[in-house]
Structure 1
Amino acid sequence: MATTWAYNRSPAFLDTPIHGPAATRTIRPPPGASAARSVSYTKRFEADDFAKVTATLGASVQGKKGHTTALGGKERFDFNSAYSFALPGSRTHHLATDGKANLWSLSGSQHLDVHGSEEIEYTAPEREFRPGTSHRMTLGSAVHSPLMHEQTGVFREGNRLKAFVPLFSDGRGNVGQSWYSSAKTTLHQGTTKIGEVDNTPETWKSYAVGADDAEYTLATSATRDRTVSEVGTRIDGSWTFRSAKPPTDGQTRTGLSTVRFGAQVDLDGTVAADRTVTFPVTVQGPAAGAGLKSLAVSVSYDGGTTWQQTPVAKGKITVKNPARGQTVALRGEVADTRGGKASVTVYDAYRGK
């Protein structure tokens, strides 16, 4: 298992990269900085100044390679694992904390080719890492589906709407972005189509709308080739919400709901064939918690031709895993107490082995 030592202290940058648990790092001010305000110093990092993070990156297609990256500091310095590695696989990053908690984020990328071009990337939320601590992190595991948090949803500025919904986020709650072979996203006001693009709702495409309060539906469908991923090969989503021109000139956000499936899936996208399992179903967005009006979950074993509704009991569902070499599709439909609705369907959510 390879190791990366990541040094970070701002505001300054490295003369040259230095690696090692007790390395000395000399920092100089950025070019053009005022001499009166310039400060040079040398910092010797000891092993206890680092947080140890082992990042494991999954992949459902055999023969794939990838890398992991640590991002930290005000300047968002990034430190890649030195070499690509076979997936699924792990790399250990030692993140400098300078004797106190520092903010870092880790990401993992699956490569398209030998040149390291990325076809899938997962990014974990930024968090504090403290000196002398050890952590494990998993990126890229199924079930892949839309993720909702304070930076996703529908955004309105004046009479324009735009959306950001990361469709291919992983099962651990890390934002995912992926190559896809085809996609279509539409926005309707009532039954009238406002716009249509051949992209996922991650491109910040904006649509002109009327000023009055109205009901809108954002719908998307994206398909990716099995050479990119053998799970989450197609994801459909639909979100119904209300919007009106805001009273101020600033940007406002409308949160959208989604359903997340907490199945325990191996790093290669597989589960034990034919086994009956129980796993949590989580609602995010306005329908979460006290905002939930209704939730329905369905399962398909024939690629979405027929569906079986599955009862949700205490936030969990019980289903039978697909047969060896077969897959299962999952669908969640949710409504909130304010009239919003959402539907999410994940085809080839995971495979039986």
Structure 2
Amino acid sequence: MITLAAALAATSLAATPGHAGEPAAAAAPGTRADARPAAAPRPVTLPTGERVRLGPDGELAGIDSPRGQEEGGGAVITERVDGHVYVIPLEAAARVEHGEWDREQFDVTRLSGLDPRRPAPAQRYAPTDEEAHTLTLSALDRSGTPDAEAVLDAYNLDTAEHVHLDFSDEGVATGEVPAGRYLLTAMTGLVEGTTAIAMQVEALDVHGDEEVAFDAREAEAVDVSVFDAEAEPTSLTIGVQYATGESLGLYSHDQSHVTLYTQGEGLELPGNELTAAISATWGLGSTPAYNAEYTRAGSFFTGFEHRVERSELAELQIRQGSPVAGRRRVLQIDSEHSALVEGPVDSLTRTDTVYVTGNTAWRYTLWDIAPDGSEEATYSSPVQVHEPGTVTRRTINTGVYGPGYSRPAHMLGRLGDELYGDVSLFADGQDHAGGPYDTEGTTILYQDGEELAALGNSLQDGIRVHGLPPQEETYRLVTTARRLDGAPVSTEVSASFEFTSAAAADGAAHELPLSVIRFTPDLALDSTAPAGRRLRVPVLVDGAAADAGVASLSVEVSFDRGETWENAPVENGAITVHNPPAGGSVSLRAELTDADGLTTTVTIKDAYLTR
């Protein structure tokens, strides 16, 4: 049975210190340092042949199926448990259910190299014989036939745990459960070549033995269309999310081959215990043009019919660059609840116009792909709600690439004696988080001027250092990252961050107060600027210094890749650079001291080139 693992409390990076990984370079005595897996996870090929990609934040980013829609390709079950994403194609669901395939073969978070270190799971409640009740679940498919391959799940709303169910060959599930409130879910029609899939959700108060028989014939169709007759349907996602952040749902690449049905009659829960979502997308050529999502708090959909009108939508104009000629791209749009909304591979250095509904928060992600198909870099926007009727213009994957303030997705934190987290050292000129896959570097942590730990990777890939003293001390974190992907700009980024830190009196995790310096000139999509001209380069300060105040800020510029430097006065928040002849390189270096006397520096070799 495709049941969910024991429920664990959902945590952000600020509450989950670091991730499991192999030890990095030797640490100083009295400390322990570990390298976290790279921020850009590797693609995963499932046993069924699907190729799955995750974004830098671990969310599902793309699925490529080796089969067409008529052969059952593209339809998958997605689950999110304890920070891990599971992707199970429909054709594999029965084999996983009957134990022929290990469910862990479909844990794409673990297989991609992103394996978040988990807090201790909540203790599973084991009822005594006197208080145990037998819960029996079964399901009929849309034809009225008992579905031996149905996905059946029972979730205890009181303890935030999934019930262990035993399954008969006929697909009947039974489990011993304590009295309490339960959310029951049935998914039927999960077989290869299916044309009708149903998802039904029901709430049940258990005070004795209970039998629940789902009948998919009672579910109603989901039909979401869009006003643009030229747009082609590309995906439909239906799912539920529990208060813990776990989710369970269905995803189909193409609405034209599989009809999804839903039922949630009489389901009324507190809004914080359940969120249901239906997401639909349509494409125009290679652009994921229209993206709509509709949610309900505390209930589930019984069918859904809606035509998306232009008045519901916000417009996003997304300029996409690349510092390397010949690169291609995948642009994808996703929301908090949708699995993914992805356009096909197409040429880079272009502008796409996409539309999103204004009732939910959306994010766009760009995958920078080499001519041989290898994925070289990934950049993502923050999650943001856009008001209907508004127009937002953004540029992604264009310099100057350097340290970004991409919290909470990328940040440093402390828990007890441990420092953990990462900094996006190659954030793009508009502070999109991410960066190249192929980098190398180092990180050194100093405490009051003495080396405390040395690691064989940069902050781009993340760190963990143990053994920090409990009292407040002053620390300096020095890191360098070098690109190995052949990109000619921001070939090396170095930064140092000075901060004070002590273990929290209540033992809680907390974010460390870092400052970053960013350069944001108006560059072409290939990260170049006109030769021989003056260029205004804005200098921005984010993070702790932006709040506490900047005591001093100095900037230098180099035209020989850092061999020599000359001062560049900061006037009205910017410096002026006299660009060298065509083919030249401009490197930038800055140092700031905040009102508390703490210093931050950044050096970007080959910040941009001239043409």
CA contact (8 A) 2:489 2:605 kept: yes
Could you tell me which runs of 5 or more consecutive residues in structure 1 were left unpaired when the two chains were aligned.
none
Q: Distance in 2 between matches of 1:311 and 1:3?
A: 53
Q: How does 1:133-152 map to 2 (within 5 A)?
A: 133-151=390-408, 152=410
Q: How does 1:317-336 map to 2 (within 5 A)?
A: 317-336=575-594
Out of 275, 292, 295, the position equivalent to 2:553 is: 295
Q: Distance in 2 between matches of 1:136 and 1:3?
A: 24
Q: Assess, with a 3 A threshold, how the Cα gap between structure 1 residues 307 and 315 changes in structure 2: closer, same or farther.
A: same
More displaced 10-residue stretch of structure 1: 149-158 or 273-282: 149-158
* Per-residue CA distance 1:151-189 (angstroms, 9 max, x = gap): 244311001112321000010121122223421111111
Q: Distance in 2 between matches of 1:252 and 1:166?
A: 19
* Per-residue CA distance 1:204-260 (angstroms, 9 max, x = gap): 421121112211111111111352x21111100011111112111110112211111
CA contact (8 A) 1:171 1:261 kept: yes
What is the TM-score normalised by the length of structure 2?
Answer: 0.51
Q: Distance in 1 between matches of 2:254 and 2:383?
A: 24
**Could you tell me which residue of structure 2 aligns to residue 235 of structure 1?**
493
Matching of residue 106 in structure 1 with residue 364 in structure 2: yes
**Could you tell me which residue of structure 2 aligns to residue 79 of structure 1?**
341
**Could you tell me which residue of structure 2 aligns to residue 28 of structure 1?**
262
**Could you tell me which residue of structure 2 aligns to residue 61 of structure 1?**
324
* Per-residue CA distance 1:20-76 (angstroms, 9 max, x = gap): 9xxx9845369xx9xxx7643122233424434332221011111111111113x34
Paired residue type of 1:54 = Q
Q: Assess, with a 3 A threshold, how the Cα gap between structure 1 residues 280 and 39 changes in structure 2: closer, same or farther.
A: closer
* Per-residue CA distance 1:260-304 (angstroms, 9 max, x = gap): 112111001111001012232111112226511110000000010
Matching of residue 93 in structure 1 with residue 327 in structure 2: no
CA contact (8 A) 1:25 1:42 kept: no
> How many angstroms does 1:10 deviate by?
5.5
Q: Assess, with a 3 A threshold, how the Cα gap between structure 1 residues 221 and 27 changes in structure 2: closer, same or farther.
A: farther
Matching of residue 218 in structure 1 with residue 218 in structure 2: no
Paired residue type of 2:317 = T
CA contact (8 A) 1:154 1:163 kept: yes
Out of 499, 516, 526, the position equivalent to 1:268 is: 526
CA contact (8 A) 1:258 1:285 kept: yes
**Could you tell me which residue of structure 2 aligns to residue 161 of structure 1?**
419
Number of matched residues?
338
Out of 440, 445, 469, the position equivalent to 1:187 is: 445
Identity fraction in percent: 27
Q: Distance in 1 between matches of 2:255 and 2:610?
A: 43
Paired residue type of 1:41 = G
Q: How does 1:242-261 map to 2 (within 5 A)?
A: 242-261=500-519
**Which secondary structure state, in structure 2, belongs to the residue aligned with residue 287 of structure 1?**
helix
**Which secondary structure state, in structure 1, belongs to the residue aligned with residue 582 of structure 2?**
coil
Q: Distance in 2 between matches of 1:193 and 1:279?
A: 35
Out of 310, 314, 317, the position equivalent to 2:572 is: 314
**Which secondary structure state, in structure 2, belongs to the residue aligned with residue 45 of structure 1?**
strand
CA contact (8 A) 1:180 1:222 kept: no
Flag the structure with larger Rg: 2
Q: Distance in 1 between matches of 2:401 and 2:502?
A: 32
Q: Distance in 1 between matches of 2:428 and 2:484?
A: 17
